[in-house]
Every structure is written in structure tokens, then in C-alpha cells.
Amino acid sequence: MSLLSDKAAIVTGGAQGIGLSIVETFLREGARVVIADLDAQAGRRAAELLDAGDNVTVVACDVTDAGDVRAAVDRCVSTYGCLDVMVNNAGITRDATMRTMTEAQFEQVIDVHLKGCWNGTRLAAAVMREQRSGAVVNLSSISGKVGFVGQTNYSAAKAGIVGLTKAAAKEMAHHGVRVNAIAPGLIRSPMTEVMPAPIWEAKLAEIPMQRVGEASEVASVALFLASSLASYVTGTVMEVTGGRHM
């Protein structure tokens, strides 16, 4: 039996990058998946390429809007009869030093990452507690552990996701709901591949495994945390970094 047979999952930001790889991995393991993405057109293109038929549903979703997230949760339950896994993956970057970062750039990143993760966690958990089962997987970052120049907004948001994950895990454990986080390092994705070559090479030099990670390697950890293999795992932050910043 596949690891996620008969399970239903939502992946925010699932139209590309790490989110899309998680969707692909979950489908391969028997899940039915709702791609909840701000860019619904990109989500529909991804669904066509996945060619998974009724096992994929696409909804437009701004994770900063609780109404949109609630609609995605409702759509999953009405379409598939349950919500077993919530992956809060949607994210953006607005990198700038503190001297040049605008208040709007700070707020945008905090809203998408931290508020979006909170919306997804709390609204999915409301369904899962009634089922007495479920798994929430939040995407943090190694940036939330060590902080990077030009990312006071992003590092703050990703560190906040760690605290949110641990607090939610304590609240939900007795309801049978597990809440964990993943902290990726340098992963090949549309968001990282636009970095200038010198910055890319400097980050690569910090990695003991001497290579960039692939989105599929993050997706494999998401699969573990979402599945019964992690039945006694909650409140953890799993680093997928090739050993960077151990």
C-alpha cells in the first residue's frame, strides 16, 4: 500500500517549485491533492501536466486571506470527504537590507509566510481535530535559524514559523493532529535560480555535501512527515540543507 493511500492533502503554493514537487510526490503515494495557489492559471497548467485526473483539484488562494484558505479547506472536504494533510508552502521574497527595505516589503513577506502559515494551520486543524487525525507540514527555512543579510523580513517570518509550529503541535497533540516543519537550505527552484552567480557560489561553498538540494528531496521529507511513518513525530523542525549551518 502507498504511504498516502485514501488521504486528501492541500498544498499551498503548489503550482511550482518545492510545492509542485510535493504535489507530485503525494500523488505518487496515493493521495488526492488540492493545489491552492495565488496563480490559479499556473495551478491549472501544473494539473494538466500531472495528468492525475480527479485526484487533483485547483483553487485560487491568497494565503493571507483567511476566507480564501477556508474555501480551500472546504473544497478539499467537499471534494474528497476529508482533509488529512495540510502543507503550508506558499512564499515570496522581497530581499533588501534594512536601510533600503520598505515597510511594505517587510509586511508582504511576514503576511504571506507567517500569517499564511497561521491561517493554514489553524483552519486545517479545525477540521483535523474533529477527525481525530491529521498532519500539518509547515515550510520554514535555514534562514529562520541563522539569519541572512538582506532578509530581515524573510528570516523573521521563517523563525516565526518554527515557533508557530511548536506551539500548534502542543495545542493539537491530544487531538491526534501532528504539526511539524521543514527548514530547507539551498534548493534548486525558480525562486533561488534567479540569484546572482556570486551569491549562489558563496552559498554552495557553505554546504558540506558540496551540492545544491533538489525540490524532490524536500518533498520526500514532507512525505515522511505527512505519513504514518512519522506517527510519533510532532513539533520538530527537519533541516534539509546538505549539512549547511549544522
Query: For the segment 72-86, what is each residue's pLDDT rounded down to a tens digit?
Result: 999 999 999 999 999
pLDDT (0 to 100) of residue 192: 82
Answer yes or no: 154 catalytic: yes
pLDDT (0 to 100) of residue 78: 98
Query: For the segment 176-222, what is each residue's pLDDT rounded down to a tens digit?
Result: 999 999 999 999 987 788 888 898 899 999 999 999 999 999 999 99
Domains along the chain? 8-238 (3.40.50.720)
| Contacts of 116-120 spanning 24+ positions with Cβ under 8 A | 116/12, 116/63, 116/64, 116/69, 116/88, 116/90, 117/63, 117/88, 117/161, 117/164, 118/164, 119/63, 119/64, 119/65, 119/66, 119/69, 120/10, 120/12, 120/63, 120/69, 120/86, 120/88
pLDDT (0 to 100) of residue 178: 98
Residues of the chain below pLDDT 70: none
Catalytic residue among 68, 154, 178, 244: 154
Query: φ and ψ at 122, to 5 degrees?
Result: -70, -35
pTM of the complete model beyond 0.75: yes
